[in-house]
Amino acid sequence: MVVYELSDLEVDRIFKALADSTRRDIVGRVMHEGLSVSTLAHDYDMSFAAVQKHVSVLERASLVTKQRYGREQIVLGNVPTLERASALLASYEQIWRQRAIQIADILGKEGSTS
């Protein structure tokens, strides 16, 4: 089961990183193409250093990676980590769906006895 593929620390880092709207936006943007930190910084009403800190949080959570090209650091989305987080959420969804089916079965049985 997918739950065991991520440690508690990894799950905490991923979802804490994604709890911030700026970081979610950064992840979405770098999934399509690698962008330099300076390019990212131009699109936010905050300092370059603040954007760099957001990228560092995402990097610690393995949601992005950075590659150096000359003087620039290009931020790239880390698809495997997002896939594992998505699979974890899907496993929780499956639990909830099973419970809903069980409740429906119980309610259906009770309705047929009256």
Measure the CA–CA gap between 60 and 64, rounded to whole angstroms: 8
pTM (2 decimals)? 0.79
- Which CATH number do you get for residue 99? 1.10.10.10
Residues 51-79, buried b or exposed e (16+ Cβ, 10 A)?
A: beebbebbeebbbbebeeeeeebbbebbe
- Backbone φ and ψ for 33, nearest 5 degrees, come out as -160, 150
Regions of the chain short of the pLDDT cut 70: 1-4, 110-114
Measure the CA–CA gap between 75 and 85, rounded to whole angstroms: 19
pLDDT of res. 3: 46
Q: Do the Cβ atoms of 6 and 87 come closer than 8 Å? A: no
**Full residue range of the structural domain in which residue 68 is found:** 2-112
* 42-60 pLDDT tens trace: 999 999 999 999 999 999 9
Count of domains in the chain? 1
Torsion over CA of 21, 87, 80 and 40, rounded to 10 degrees? -10
